Amino acid sequence: MQDPVKTPRKRRPRGSLTREQVVEAALTLADEEGLEALTMPMLARRLNCGVMTTYGYVNGKEDLLDAIAQRGLRDLHLPHPLPDDVGAILHAWGRALRLNLIEHPSLPMIFLSRAVIGPGFLHGLEALLGPLARAGMPPAQGVHAVYAVLTYATGFVAWEIPRTHRQQQATYAASWRREVAKLPPAEVPFLAGILDELPEVAGKKQFELGLAALTAGLAITPASDPAAPPAIFASGRSRRLRPFHRIPSIMGLFRTRLHPDRGRAVSRVAFADLSSASRRRLSASRTRTIRTPARFSPSSSSSPIRRNVTRSFSLY
């Protein structure tokens, strides 16, 4: 019996490929079969060309991954026009990004495993920073807010996809019921009462819960430096901490009065609140000096800080 003769695979005509076609085929392959299936031989087979032909359009696997990440983001559609509120803009960005990452499930794994920076990312950032700036959030803060939403959405979708997209959501729900049923109800009384809610931890409801909390926090105007602590000694009225606001100190022992000339805070023990023994023990260290930031020192008698420096506030 003769072996069947293999029909030679028909090759694509020379010069009939473009880089866009190669990237598009790679994105489709990665989305359908996973990043582990995205190899140059597999891509060449899908394109009906030789492996070396693909290298004429991409500079290897790393270049290909960057290209498909940026190509995938082109399918992200923000509402137009965007809202005029910081929180609403960030919320719209998060929702659109989640849908885009679900449409292209290879993207979250690329974003989590490598740094992807290119024209697509830069144009996308610019499209968000402008509306955020017009809504009152400066670009230096806006870029951190945009990336806070990006990292949240990327991590969430990477969690969501294998649970409720690569398998039926009913299958995921059944696994919860099966595992909870293995335990006596007395050990998990709360979980036993919310079996219908448990599968929602990997779906839209859970995502929206986290996104709402995140964007609400980001919409609060932070300090100019995201890593800086709240400015306690800011002049004027603050939305977060009111300087010189009297707060009860521990045991009522310490009170502080700001020195208007030396820009220092002098703390004296409130002896009226102490026993006679405590007074004797503390008599040697009745006063201590705390240096405050240089900007706190008033430069003129008309300074709004100077008018307030004699007000007392607690150390704790």
- In a shared domain, residues 94 and 60: no
- Do 177 and 261 belong to one domain? no
193 and 98 co-located in one domain: yes
Assess whether 107 and 210 both reside in one domain. Answer: yes
Cα–Cα nearest to 58, from 98, 94, 25: 25
Most confident range, picked from 114-118, 220-224, 259-263: 114-118
Assess whether 209 and 308 both reside in one domain: no
In a domain, 243, yes or no: no
The answer to whether position 112 is within a domain reads yes
CATH number at 175 reads 1.10.357.10
CATH number assigned to the domain comprising residue 48: 1.10.10.60
Q: Is the backbone peptide bond immediately before 81 cis, with ω within 30 degrees of 0?
A: yes
188 near 182, Cβ under 8 Å? no
Q: Is 186 a domain residue?
A: yes
Based on the fold, state whether residues 113 and 201 are members of the same structural domain: yes
Instruction: Mark whether 58 and 158 lie in a shared domain.
Output: no
Residues 110 and 143 in one domain: yes
Q: What is the residue range of 286's domain?
A: 250-313
Same domain (yes/no): 116, 27: no
Is 230 within a domain? no
DSSP per-residue codes, 126-172: HHHHHHHHHTT--HHHHHHHHHHHHHHHHHHHHHHHHHHTSS-HHHH
Q: Is 307's pLDDT higher than 90?
A: no
pLDDT score at 118:
85
Per-residue pLDDT tens over the stretch 180-219: 999 999 999 999 999 999 999 999 999 999 999 999 999 9
Residues 203 and 255 in one domain: no
Are 205 and 96 found together in one domain?
yes
Please say which residue of 170, 199, 218 terminates a domain: 218
232 found inside a domain: no
Q: Dump pLDDT digits (tens) for 140-168.
A: 999 999 999 999 999 999 999 999 999 99
> Domain for residue 101, yes or no?
yes
pLDDT digits (tens, 9 = 90+) for 256-290: 344 444 444 434 444 444 556 555 555 554 444 44
Domains in the chain, number: 3
Same domain for 49 and 139 = no
Q: DSSP secondary structure string, the chain? A: -PPPPPPPPPPPPTT---HHHHHHHHHHHHHHH-GGG--HHHHHHHHTS-HHHHTTTSSSHHHHHHHHHHHHHTT----SSPPSSHHHHHHHHHHHHHHHHHHSTHHHHHHHHS---SHHHHHHHHHHHHHHHHTT--HHHHHHHHHHHHHHHHHHHHHHHHHHTSS-HHHHHHHHHHHHHTS-TTTSHHHHTTTTTGGGGGSHHHHHHHHHHHHHHHTS---SSTTSPP-TT-SS--SS--TT---PPGGG-EEEEE-TTT-EEEEEE-GGGS-HHHHHHHGGG-EEEEE--GGGS-SSTT-TTTTTTTSEE---
Q: Is residue 136 part of a domain?
A: yes
Does 5 fall in a domain? no
